[in-house]
Amino acid sequence: MRFDIITLFPELFLPFFRCGVVGRAFSGGLARAETAQLRDYCEGAHGADDRPFGGGSGMVLAAAPVLAAVRDMRKRNAGPVIYPTPRGEVFSDAVARDLAKLPGCIILCGRYRGVDERALEAEADREISLGDYVLSGGETAAMAVMDAVLRYVPGVLGNPLSAEEDSFGGGLLDAPCYTRPEVVEGRAAPAVLLSGDHAAIREWRQARAREMTAERRPDLLSPPQPPPSKMEGG
């Protein structure tokens, strides 16, 4: 899978590309990522950003460099252009799995107040939000999306069952986990985990996962309800 990222801050991605599961995906050749500096697509006197028409605080990323950068990336990346923004479709495990099936994607990272809408109309294929809060740029969102997506690229997790065992793979939050020592400040690890009884351990984990989900995210246990019909009630 190939990621091309358009950003004013390519250096933010360097440690992310090198470390952990994501780092191994890239060093092992299972995925590749390149960053493009948006400023390199500015021509003449105009910069990457300008003041918003109609006034107000902050700056807006100008359409021309964004369009030029996206179109340059499209020459090498056949995937969709994703724009991280709080107004997008909310990112989820299902979206991550969906994106992992693609040969690649181009991620356009906004800064300041956002990107000139006309560039988005012309070239953004999908808008994704991490949730109901504002990040100061799309870069950290792009990293979250790449991390979640790469976990579903075959071969990235050593054990293909790992993705399923983690929270959401099975539709539930994960059971709590423990390691040595057996007792920490008077708190003992659950005895069943030390029993060697694999069926009992599996059962315990499933029960804890269901409990944890019921307590913290009951919405995950009940399938989405249809909106109330206007004909009913009132």
Least distance CB 148 / ligand 6GU (angstroms): 12
Contact call for residue 113 and ligand 6GU (CB under 6 A): no
Footprint on residues 75-104 left by ligand 6GU (CB under 6 A): 84-86
Judged by CB under 6 A, the residue of 29, 54, 133, 159 near ligand 6GU is: 133
Calpha distance 16→23 (Å, rounded): 7
Contact call for residue 35 and ligand 6GU (CB under 6 A): no
Contact call for residue 130 and ligand 6GU (CB under 6 A): yes
Contact call for residue 131 and ligand 6GU (CB under 6 A): yes
Contact call for residue 189 and ligand 6GU (CB under 6 A): no
Candidate segments 27-35, 43-51, 137-145, 154-162, binder of ligand 6GU by CB under 6 A: 137-145
Judged by CB under 6 A, the residue of 65, 79, 104, 138 near ligand 6GU is: 138
Total number of residues that touch ligand 6GU (CB under 6 A):
14
Judged by CB under 6 A, the residue of 9, 112, 129, 212 near ligand 6GU is: 129
Nearest residue (CB) to ligand 6GU, 120 versus 128:
128
Contact call for residue 37 and ligand 6GU (CB under 6 A): no
